[in-house]
Structure 1
Amino acid sequence: MSSIFRGLAALAAVAGLLLGIYRGFLDDGLHLGAALLVWFSWAVGALLFLAVSVILDQLEEALQHLRLLTRDSRVQAELRPNLGNSKAKLDALKDYKVTVKDDV
């Protein structure tokens, strides 16, 4: 998916360069301002496509790392020994009262 956005970024850069040359120099005489405006706007568009591509690459890498971690945790959970009944008997604490001692 990110390669699509990289391709779009390259296409936008080349199209912007060509359109800037056409608008600024070939269309109607010499208009450097129009050429610069077209180049700048298409360059910003190309950079946005490239940024989305980088974000998708990092997201894919993080997802792969997360899948690896969850797979490892499942394997470790299956290897843990059964410790038996872990329910504690609290009958001895039934009538216990907490008292405050002011020894300060």
Structure 2
Amino acid sequence: MKLTILGGGGFRVPLVYGALLGDHAEGRVTRVTLYDTDADRLTAVARVLEEQARGVPDAPAVVATTELDEALRGADFVFSAIRVGGLAGRAADERV
């Protein structure tokens, strides 16, 4: 099963991936595609996931892309982790 994470450069993505690493049931996620418009953040998060997966048998494969069409192609499930308004939006959310 392919999971696409929109906003894949976000700092919470490793928490999601960590949960996936512990799932060995039938029908589990076997591929994770990270999508983000910020290539640097995307690269950093992909490296973290690579380290998380080290030594874990059958860890879900990870692909990172800045191309939305590529990210969505073949996805069985899409998780949206996009913060509307970016950091300014986050600051506003936290003040409410």
Task: Report the TM range for the smaller structure's normalisation.
Answer: under 0.3
* Bigger fraction of residues in strand: 2
Scaled by the length of structure 2, the TM-score of the pair is 0.25
Which structure's relative contact order is higher, taking Cα pairs within 8 Å and 6+ residues apart?
2
* Bigger fraction of residues in helix: 1
Scaled by the length of structure 1, the TM-score of the pair is 0.23
